[in-house]
Copies of this chain bind each other. A is one copy, B any other.
Amino acid sequence: MLIYVDTPFNEEQKDQLTYGSPEDLFVFKDEIESKEEQLATLLKADILLGNPKPVEWLEKANNLKWVQLYSTGFEYYRNIKIPAAITNMQDYYSQPCAETAVGGIMALYRGMDNFGVLKKEKKWVGYTLRAHLQLLQDKKVVILGYGNIGKRVAKILSGFDCEIKIYARTAPEATIRTTDDLLKELGWADIVIGCLPGTAETKGLFTSEMIRAMKQGAIFSNVGRGNLVEDEQVLIDALNEGKLGGAVLDVTAEEPIPADHPLWDCRNTILSQHSGGGNVSEYFGIAQFFLENLERFKKNIPLKNPVDFGRGY
């Protein structure tokens, strides 16, 4: 079969695929020179491994029987209709994202940002640093969304005896079901962590009123989608004015963040540049997962991680 690969693999991972399934022909987008030829190959392909851009290319690829996305989210394909089976990476990025959210909050609480700057300046401050540190233990946390990331965050926080309230429409563990109830609970929380996928319902869900309703000195983290926040400037103001104690933003309204954006100067804010899902063996794992699903595809066993572009997850 002809497998078109639009995923940023290195040579090692390309070998992993070609040696992993020698009977198939893998064609890697970055090895095809012209856009025209790339599109032509995609149109001939039986299988696609990756997330092609422009998104319209996908709609034209009528020969595809199966699309394995290398992402979990796929909101940019929302209006695309194709007959192929579609699978994503589902839970694959959840633990890394959860670790970036909690690691970022711990970095703020335990002064990690500051230590790096002091190290560069070779400056010992010592004892007086201590009064600026906080503990994650026993903190009150609202988790927005209880999909895979939210569950991993809750699991990690169990080691710190945090008190957790979950906002989710359907998850049985959630005690906050509506945005009205969420608004009421925000004054209770020391930490709010956004773990929601990008759907029509989550866009702008975290309103400016909610930011204002948060507890003085509380921390906001977002590892879901940047458009969760209705108005990012209100969040930036709340941070710079000291209303909020800090933020850990893996996702933002604009990505990449432009050089003149006020987020770069935002107080006590960690910008992890959408690296939250990353880990050193990330692409090895994607290739491995694809090869396993390819086996299933060939044996006509139901594919792992099926998704529906229309539903959004």
A: residues with CB less than 8 A from B are 8, 95-96, 99-100, 102-104, 106-107, 109-113, 115-119, 122-127, 129-137, 155-160, 255-257, 259, 261, 264, 269-275, 277-280, 282-283
When distances are taken between beta carbons in the complex, the residues of chain B under 8 Å from A137 are 95, 99
> What residue of chain B has the Cβ atom nearest to residue A282's Cβ?
B130
Is A136 a contact of B270 with CB atoms below 8 Å? Answer: no
> Complex formed: what's the CA distance from A119 to B126 in Å?
24
Q: Are B279 and A124 in contact (CB under 8 A)?
A: no
* B275/A129 in contact, CB under 8 A: yes
User: For the complex, what is the distance from the CA of A104 to the CA of B272, rounded to whole Å?
Assistant: 16
A162 and chain B: residue at smallest CB distance: B159
Tell me the minimal C-beta distance from A112 to chain B in angstroms: 4
* A132 CA / B107 CA spacing, docked (Å): 18
Do A103 and B113 have beta carbons less than 8 Å apart? no
Which residues from chain B contact A129 at a C-beta distance below 8 Å? 272-273, 275, 278
A81 to chain B, nearest CB (A): 28
A243 to chain B, nearest CB (A): 17
B-side contacts of A8, CB under 8 Å: 127
Task: Give the residue of B102, B103, B131, B278 whose beta carbon is less than 8 angstroms from that of A278.
Answer: B131
Among A95, A275, A277, find the residue whose CB has the most chain B CB atoms closer than 10 A.
Answer: A275
Chain B residues with CB under 8 Å of A125's CB are 273
Q: List 26 A-B contacts (CB under 8 A).
A: A95-B135, A99-B109, A99-B137, A103-B103, A103-B107, A103-B109, A103-B110, A103-B112, A104-B110, A106-B106, A111-B275, A112-B113, A112-B272, A113-B116, A115-B271, A119-B271, A124-B256, A127-B275, A129-B273, A129-B278, A130-B275, A130-B277, A132-B280, A133-B280, A134-B279, A135-B279
